[in-house]
Amino acid sequence: MGCSSTRHSGVPVRETARCSERDNPALHGQAPLVVSYFSKKSLTFLRGLHRNNSKAWFDEHRSEYQEHWREPYLALAEDLCEAISLGEPEYELDPKRAIYRINRDIRFSNDKTPYKTNLGITIGRREKHDPSWPAYTVRLGFDGIAIGGGLYMPEAELRDQVRRWFAANPTQSAVAPNDPAFAKHFKEIRGERNKRLPRDLAALAADEPLVFNKQWIFWAEWPDMKLLLDPDLDRFIVERWHAGRALNDVLKRAVAR
C-alpha cells in the first residue's frame, strides 16, 4: 500500500507506518494522514459479492478482494490482537490464527453460495476456537458490525462446572450487568438456554437463572457497513471489548481448574 494507507491506530495509540519516509508527512513537520482500514472500494466489493456470490465473479474480482478486503482485514486483526494482549497477555495471538476464510462450508447447508459477505476476528487464549476460555470476537462486512465475546461453546463438563460455579457464587451473576460500561454497550448476559435440566441442576437454577445457560456471552450489533470506513474502527471495537471484559473476567474464574 502507498502513503494514502497510513493511519493513526486508535488502540494502542501509535503510528502504523505504511508509506515511505520520503512520502510520510509526519516526518516533514506535517500532521500524519489518518485514514480508515477499509475504503469505499471495500464496500463496493462487498456489494458486488452480495449480488454475485459465485466463483466466476469472485475469480474475476480476486485482485479487488486481496487489496480492498483481505489486506485491511489482516491489518485490523493485527492491531486488535496487539491491543487485547496489552492488558490480557494470555490472549497474545498470531493475527492469522484469529481470522476466518472467506470460503463458506456448504457441505451440509441449504445455502450453496460459496463466499461469506461477513468475516469474523476471534481472539482466544490459544486459538480462536478454544472452547475452554472466554474469547473476544467481531463480525464485520455487508451486514455492518457485531461485537461480542464470552464463553460460546463450552464442552459439557466445563458447561456444568460454570453452572455450578454461578450457583455457588450468586453475587457474580450481577457483576457484569452492574458494570456501567458493560450495561451501556451490552445490557445483559446473553446465550442459549436449556428449557429443562437434570434434577440437581434444576434445584440450583431456582435461585440462579444463569444455571439454565448453555452459553454466557455479550453481543451487540450495528447494521450499517459504512461503519467500516471509521478511521477509529479499531478503537470502536476495543472499547466495547474492554466493556465486555467485565463478563470475561467473571468467566475466567468460573472456568479455572
Over 60: is that where the pLDDT of 14 sits?
A: no
Q: Please compute the mean of the pLDDT values over residues 173-188 and round it to a whole number.
A: 98
pLDDT of residue 35: 78
Q: What is the pLDDT of residue 13?
A: 40
Both 203 and 102 in one domain: the answer is yes
Distance from the first to the final alpha carbon of the chain: 46
Per-residue pLDDT tens digits for 202-239? 999 999 999 999 999 999 999 999 999 999 999 999 99
Name which residue leads in pLDDT, 79 or 32: 79
CATH no. for residue 125?
3.30.930
Do residues 10 and 236 touch, judged by C-beta distance below 8 A?
A: yes
Confidence of residue 20 (pLDDT cuts 50, 70, 90): very low
Give tens-digit pLDDT for 47-95: 999 999 999 999 999 999 999 999 999 999 999 999 999 999 988 778 9
User: 196 and 83: one domain?
Assistant: yes
Do 45 and 82 sit in the same domain of this protein?
Answer: yes
Distance CA 69, CA 95 (A): 15
Q: What percent of the chain has pLDDT over 70?
A: 85
The answer to whether 29 touches 52, Cβ cutoff 8 Å, is no
C-alpha neighbours within 13 Å on the C-beta side of residue 123: 27
Say which DSSP state 115 is in.
B
Q: Which three cell numbers stand for residue 51?
A: 449480488
Give the largest Cα separation in the chain, rounded: 71
The answer to whether residues 31 and 46 belong to one domain is no
Distance CA 231, CA 34 (A): 7
Residue 1 has pLDDT above 50, yes or no: no
- Which H helix or E strand runs over 76? helix 71-87
- How high is the pLDDT of residue 94? 87
Whether 72 and 186 map to the same domain: the answer is yes
Q: How confident is the model at residue 10 (pLDDT cuts 50, 70, 90)?
A: very low
* Rounded Cα–Cα distance for residues 46 and 92 (Å): 30
Domain co-membership, 18 together with 61: no
Domain count across the chain: 2
DSSP labels, 169-211:
-GGGGGTTTTSHHHHHHT-S-B--B-S---HHHHHHHTT-GGG
Give the residue-averaged pLDDT of 130-148: 96
The residue among 37, 4, 79, 10 whose CA lies nearest residue 228 is 37
State which residues form the domain around 17. 1-35
**Residue 242: which of 146, 127, 149 has the closest Cα?**
149
CB-based contacts of 177, cutoff 8 Å, min separation 6: 183, 187, 188, 189
Question: What integer pLDDT is reported at residue 19 of this predicted model?
Answer: 39
Asked if pLDDT for residue 17 goes beyond 80, the answer is no
Question: What is the H or E stretch that residue 160 is in?
Answer: helix 156-168
pTM of the shown model: 0.86
In this structure, the answer to whether residues 137 and 200 fall within a common structural domain is: yes
| Average pLDDT across the chain, whole number | 88
Same domain, 125 and 25: no
Q: Is 105 a residue whose pLDDT tops 50?
A: yes
Query: Of 39-43, 94-98, 227-231, where does mean pLDDT reach its minimum?
Result: 94-98
Mapped onto helix, strand or coil, the DSSP state of residue 252 is: helix
Same domain, 128 and 20: no
Q: What is the pLDDT of residue 93?
A: 78
The answer, yes or no, to whether residue 16 has pLDDT greater than 90, is no
Same domain, 11 and 115: no
| Residues 149 and 249 reside in one and the same domain | yes
Return the number of other C-beta atoms located less than 10 Å from residue 251's C-beta: 24
Together in a domain, 2 and 87: no
pLDDT at residue 143, rounded to an integer: 97
